Amino acid sequence: MRLSTVFREAVSGLRRNVAMVVSIILVTFLSLTFVGTASLLQMQVAQMKNYWYDKAEVAVYLCSTISPANACPQGQASEDIKTAVTAKLNEDTLKPFINNFYFEDHAQAYKHFQEQFKGNTVAKYVTKEQLNETFWVKLKDPQKSQIVTETFTGFAGVEEVRDQRSYLDQIFNILNAASLAAIGVATLMLFSSALLISTTIRLSAFSRRREIGIMRLVGASNFYIQLPFVLEGIVAATVGSLLAGGAVLAIVQFFVQGVLAPKLPFTNLVGLPDALTVFPILVGVGVLLAAIASGSAIRRYLRV
Amino acid sequence: MISISNVTKQYKGAPRPALDDVSIEIDKGDFVFLVGTSGSGKSSLLRLMLREDVPSKGSVSVLGENLVAIASRRIPQFRRNIGMVFQDFRLLPNKTIFENIAFSLEVTGASRSKIADKVPAALNLVGLSEKAGRMPNELSGGEQQRVALARAFVDTPALLLADEPTGNLDPATSAEIMRLLEKINEGGTTIVMATHDRGLVDMARKRVVVLDQGRIVRDERGSGYVGQE
């Protein structure tokens, strides 16, 4: 077996089927670009999750003038209650889990509310007393918020305990579903490109059936007959996946970092190192896909 | 060399078998004509000998290989010991004459030096040395068939199968091809040739096997196309 001969056959095949080769390149390029962006989206969601979960705090809302009577039978929380909550937070049972905590009084809550709802009519009607005084608790491990929640739920003068992560979870569930859907579509596209590769290779084999017949006649081994076709598929898919990798790098560099990053200064967006991690995966998937698709196509065609 | 016994080949959907209980022994160095009308089973028999097909019944043994039981991965190796020539030449149109002949050595993994050695020798044998660089479509039918012969013979196979090799050629060119085949046969290569060419068969006086409707109806040495009755 001489490899130079096999390569020569593969190159002549590529030259003869330019249109088909271009179609393989395009379809692997598109589907792998989709796969690449979908996986970067997954990375982005994971990164944001880490970032925001770390920032998430547990809010212990104290009873205000408008708190429902069933939660706050004794009305607005008194100074005694604030002292009791502070004491509880400083107790040995809770202290090891807490990084720090601070108290937000009516005035601060009002100020934050006005900032948050600037221009919204609700900001005009709300009074200081209606807003809860709150203990904001930052945990060492945000996963262990249950300890605080359990301690203060039903605590006299506490209206509600809320882990901010529960809000984040909703957002991340949506983002996660979106990126999973993207991966699903990408998988379908990969499947269709595998089918296209195998159809193309079979057509290529059909157009060279005379040569294949002669090769078999003179005793060429099946491996030797198949190799140029498999190489043809692999070369085309490699070009396509290199283009896809390049596209993913370009998207990250020019769109994510170039356009999005200046607009979202407080968000940690995926960068070139992430794209460079995805790059070899895309090329690997492309090559493997082409090898399997063209190999199985040609094997079925050559069955004696 | 070739031992075929009680072979029946029934193609799907055909009303009668292409070969019907055929038995034949061919020895090393034999030159055998397979004659008979179209559809008499000549090509089917050649296909079985090349292991392009398997019999429905019976056994086929060629060059010591049991072709009914041979593993499919061993078939290429087996075919390297057989040269095959067809009526339609089957040359690769995009390769030169030299490349066409070299191709059958290349696919078997022959070294460069072996190719440089054997291809000119084969071209010399068929008298086409000066046309090595030409493309097949620049050659006459007779020349193309000589190239096909050179390709079949380049690795000096023990057995050469020819399926109507002169079917597309005029009588003079046919005689030329026949002379080449006889020359190859004199070198010890066994030849089995299916043909319609009455003139060739009568002239050569070789072993003649006549097939009719898938059966062997005559098997005579030193005979002609019609027989001596």
Highest mean pLDDT among A209-223, B98-112, B188-202: B188-202
**In chain A, which residue's Cα lies nearest the Cα of B111?**
A2
**In chain B, which residue's Cα lies nearest the Cα of A219?**
B76
Domains of chain B: 29-50+77-220 (3.40.50.300)
Element (DSSP H or E) covering residue A132: none
Query: Does A105 contact chain B (CB < 8 Å)?
Result: no
Query: Does A12 contact chain B (CB < 8 Å)?
Result: yes
What would the mean pLDDT of B105-112 be, rounded to a whole number? 83
Q: Which two tokens stand for residue A249?
A: 């790098």
How far does A296 lie from chain B, in Å, by closest CA?
Answer: 17
Phi-psi group of B13: left, alpha or beta (phi > 0 → left; psi -120 to 50 → alpha; rest → beta): left
What would the mean pLDDT of B32-42 be, rounded to a whole number? 91
Q: What is the distance, to the nearest Å, from the Cα of residue A136 to the centroid of all Cα atoms in its chain?
A: 30
pLDDT at A228: 84
Confidence of residue B61 (pLDDT cuts 50, 70, 90): very high
Confidence of residue A82 (pLDDT cuts 50, 70, 90): confident
Lowest-confidence pick of A67-71, B57-61, B169-173? A67-71
CB atoms within 10 A of CB A82: 16
Query: Does B107 contact chain A (CB < 8 Å)?
Result: yes
Task: Report the distance separating Cα A147 and Cα A251, nearest Å.
Answer: 43
Query: Does A304 contact chain B (CB < 8 Å)?
Result: yes
Q: Which two tokens stand for residue A172?
A: 């991340």
For the CA atoms of chain B, what is the radius of gyration?
Answer: 17
pLDDT(B28) > 70:
yes
Query: Does A213 contact chain B (CB < 8 Å)?
Result: yes
Task: Report the distance separating Cα A48 and Cα A54, nearest Å.
Answer: 10
Work out whether the CA dihedral A13, A19, A25, A28 comes out positive or negative: negative
Degrees (nearest 5) of the Cα angle A151, A152, A156? 125
What is the DSSP-derived secondary structure letter of residue B182? H
User: Phi and psi of A98, rounded to 5°?
Assistant: -100, 135
Confidence of residue A2 (pLDDT cuts 50, 70, 90): low
Query: Does A215 contact chain B (CB < 8 Å)?
Result: yes
Lowest-confidence pick of A49-53, A162-166, B58-62, B112-116? A49-53
Confidence of residue A263 (pLDDT cuts 50, 70, 90): confident
Per-residue pLDDT tens for A97-116? 888 889 988 888 888 888 88
Looking at chain B, the whole-number percentage of residues with pLDDT higher than 70 is 99
Confidence of residue B219 (pLDDT cuts 50, 70, 90): very high
Q: Which long-range contacts (CB under 8 A, 24 or more apart) does B53-57 make?
A: B53/B9, B55/B7, B55/B8, B55/B9, B55/B19, B56/B8, B56/B9, B56/B10, B56/B17, B57/B6, B57/B7, B57/B8
pLDDT(A1) > 70:
no
pLDDT averaged over every residue in chain B: 90
pLDDT averaged over every residue in chain A: 85
**Inter-chain CB proximity B75 and A213 less than 8 Å:** no
Of A210, A213, A215, the CB nearest to B107: A215
* Pairing verdict, β B159-163 and B190-195: parallel
- The highest-level CATH class for domain A57-163 is alpha beta
Query: Does A222 contact chain B (CB < 8 Å)?
Result: yes
**Inter-chain CB proximity A222 and B76 less than 8 Å:** yes
Chain A residues lying within 8 Å of B78, measured CB to CB: 219
**Inter-chain CB proximity A220 and B90 less than 8 Å:** no
Confidence of residue A243 (pLDDT cuts 50, 70, 90): very high
**In chain A, which residue's Cα lies nearest the Cα of B72?**
A304
**Inter-chain CB proximity B151 and A216 less than 8 Å:** no
pLDDT(B207) > 80:
yes
pLDDT at A141: 83
pLDDT(A262) > 70:
yes
pLDDT(B27) > 90:
yes
Query: Does A7 contact chain B (CB < 8 Å)?
Result: no
Query: Does A262 contact chain B (CB < 8 Å)?
Result: no
Of A210, A213, A220, the CB nearest to B107: A220
Task: Report the distance separating Cα B31 and Cα A175, nearest Å.
Answer: 80
Q: Which of B37, B38, B39, B53 shows the shortest CA–CA distance to B4? A: B53
pLDDT at B182: 93
Q: Which two tokens stand for residue A174?
A: 């949506």
pLDDT(A65) > 90:
no
Highest mean pLDDT among A169-173, A295-299, B179-183: B179-183
**In chain A, which residue's Cα lies nearest the Cα of B151?**
A218
Per-residue pLDDT tens for B130-184? 999 999 999 999 899 999 999 999 988 999 999 999 988 888 889 989 999 999 9
What is chain B's length?
Answer: 229
CB atoms within 10 A of CB A78: 14
Between A222-250 and A165-207, two packed helices, what is the crossing angle to 10 degrees?
A: 140
Looking at chain B, the whole-number percentage of residues with pLDDT higher than 90 is 63
Task: Report the distance separating Cα A165 and Cα A183, nearest Å.
Answer: 25
Chain A residues lying within 8 Å of B106, measured CB to CB: 2, 5
Of A12, A210, A219, the CB nearest to B107: A219
Lowest-confidence pick of A68-82, B125-139, B194-208? A68-82
**Inter-chain CB proximity B76 and A216 less than 8 Å:** yes
pLDDT(B227) > 70:
no
Q: Is A138 helix (H, G, I), strand (E, B) or coil?
A: strand
Write the DSSP assignment of A249-281 as a string of letters. HHIIIIIIIIIIHHH-TTS----HHHHHHHHHH
Query: Does B79 contact chain A (CB < 8 Å)?
Result: yes
Confidence of residue B1 (pLDDT cuts 50, 70, 90): confident
Q: Which two tokens stand for residue A65?
A: 């003038």
What would the mean pLDDT of A279-303 be, rounded to a whole number? 87
Chain A residues lying within 8 Å of B90, measured CB to CB: 210, 213-214, 217
Per-residue pLDDT tens for B67-91? 999 998 888 889 989 999 998 889 9
pLDDT(A304) > 60:
no
Q: Count interface pairs A-B at CB distance under 8 A.
A: 52
Q: What Å distances lie between residue A196 and A31, A127, A295, CA to CA?
A: 12, 66, 13
pLDDT at A187: 86
Q: Where are the domains of chain A?
A: 3-53+169-302, 57-163
* Pairing verdict, β B65-66 and B57-62: antiparallel
A1, burial (CB in 10 Å: exposed 0-12, middle 13-18, buried 19+):
middle
pLDDT(B220) > 70:
yes
Of A210, A211, A218, the CB nearest to B79: A218
What is the DSSP-derived secondary structure letter of residue A63? P
Task: Report the distance separating Cα B130 and Cα B167, nearest Å.
Answer: 26
**B166, B174 contact by CB (below 8 A):** yes
CB atoms within 10 A of CB B82: 23
**Inter-chain CB proximity B75 and A224 less than 8 Å:** no
What is the DSSP-derived secondary structure letter of residue A140? S
Degrees (nearest 5) of the Cα angle B122, B127, B131? 90
Residue of B91, B95, B106 to mutate for A, most A C-beta atoms under 10 A: B106
Task: Report the distance separating Cα B136 and Cα B120, nearest Å.
Answer: 17
Choice between A98 and A245, residue whose per-residue pLDDT is larger: A245
Q: Is B155 helix (H, G, I), strand (E, B) or coil?
A: coil
Highest mean pLDDT among A3-7, A159-163, A216-220: A159-163
**A294, A229 contact by CB (below 8 A):** yes
pLDDT at A143: 79
Residue of A1, A207, A211, A214 to mutate for B, most B C-beta atoms under 10 A: A214
Q: What Å distances lie between residue B31 and A25, B76, B217, CA to CA?
A: 54, 24, 18
